[in-house]
A and B are shown apart, each in its own frame.
Chain A
Amino acid sequence: MDLVDLIAEKKFLGQEFLTWVWYQSDVNSGLIEVPGCGTLEIWFEERLVLETGAGNSRQLVTCQGRDLDLAEARTAVREGKKVSQAKLRLKLDGQEYKMTIKAEGLELSGVQAPKTLEMEEEEQDNLAGRLIDRIAVIKELVRTLDALYARFLSLRLGPDWEETVVASLRKWLKEN
């Protein structure tokens, strides 16, 4: 199977991942326990893009607002629209990141990483030092998102996904 087919056939993994993170964040006041990373603080922010249909009939709907406990977005998901991209704020060990994640390819965009002390103090012309520092900071974000995705996978591929997790998600979606 080539990459284009693989993306189309398995894109639900990314969509369900973002839906699950949204649910977890909403019902646990933004706190999610992630093995190997401790407790993350994750908030869905301002902008959630949902999609319906596929190929030429694919349509995107953008829900915007300060509080994504939006009845509108949940209703749309309940009616069959799927999470396509989400803007998140993630806090780990006091460090805050902001980013948008796309469900289809798990690409990140608009990543705002925390400034480290080194970055603030280093001379402006020490570009190599700043580069290494930034890579390390973003790598920490990538490692954390991987751990979160691994936690999702262990549930998603486990025996209780449909009966327990999906049932809870459905209940949550109806609570408007």
Chain B
Amino acid sequence: MSLIKGGVSLTRFRVMDQLPELTDEFITERLQKNAFVPIDATTEEESVGWVEILDPLSTGFAVHTFNFGQVIAMGLRVDTRRVSAKVVNRYLSLAIAEAEKLTDRPLTGNQKRELKARVRHDLLSRTPVVTDVFEVCWFPGEAEVWLVGGGAKLREKLEEIWRSSFNIGLMMKIPFVLARDLLPQDKTMDDLDRAAPSALFGGRR
């Protein structure tokens, strides 16, 4: 795991609303409700859910597995199984040729679509699942969340599961959002809103 070992990628979020009361029972219940569900025995292409940070195979969420004092930490597990269009088309061509040989007639458009769905389903059932686990740290006292990982798609997955788990929004701490949080005492939001790019370059302004 990258927080414990190796280089860390970090995306920071601001928690947009205050929770009325953040108890261990509440967190356990919400994490369990949105816990990771395995897709190994299915043909599902993706599953996203919470796991214990130190044991990605466990979704019990006993208090000691997520409550580390000032920080609540959990794993966001993303399992995916992908079959590329190129692979599907290759096996579809073979299946069409076989079917047409058997019936001695070209397949209709509908038959080809049905066959494609069957081929895809069959390939998915034979494709192993790839598992990724991203650590998530929540600092309730600072209304801040860390996602140990990056990229727009992963951010969206976190924002979605966060909202459905805790019914509160997250906003990425881009420079403007961070500037609002760190605004010097003698400056106002208007000062920040009015700020425009500097004429740093070649006298352009």
Contacts and interface: CB of A to CB of B under 8 A. Distances in A.
Interface of A: 3, 6-7, 9-14, 16-17, 19, 77-82, 103-113, 127-128, 130-132, 134-135, 138, 142, 146, 149-150, 153-154, 156-158, 161-162, 166, 169-170, 173
A132 B200 contact: no
Contact of A127 (B54, B175, B177, B204): B54
Given A127-B4, A131-B73, A11 B175 contact: yes
B200 A166 contact: yes
B60 to A, nearest CB: 15
Given A77-B200, A169-B200, 8 more contacts: A104-B175, A105-B11, A107-B150, A135-B68, A146-B178, A158-B187, A162-B198, A166-B199
Nearest to A82: B201
Q: Is the interface of B mostly helix, strand, loop or mixed?
A: loop
A84 to B, nearest CB: 13
Interface of B: 3-4, 7-12, 53-54, 64, 68-69, 71, 73, 137, 150, 171-179, 182-184, 186-187, 191-192, 195-202, 204
Nearest to A146: B182
B9 A108 contact: yes
A154 B184 contact: yes
A132 B67 CA distance: 10
Contacts of B176: 6-7, 9-10, 13
A82 B197 CA distance: 11
A10 B187 CA distance: 17
Contacts of B10: 107-109, 111, 138, 142
Contact of A157 (B3, B53, B192): B192
B73 A135 contact: yes
B198 A161 contact: yes
Given A10-B176, A107-B150, A146-B182, A135 B12 contact: no
**5 shortest A-B CB distances, which residue pairs?**
A10-B176, A13-B175, A14-B175, A12-B197, A111-B8
A164 to B, nearest CB: 12
A3 B201 contact: no
Nearest to B71: A135
A170 B200 CA distance: 6
Given A135-B71, A157-B191, A80 B202 contact: yes
A74 to B, nearest CB: 11
Nearest to A18: B175
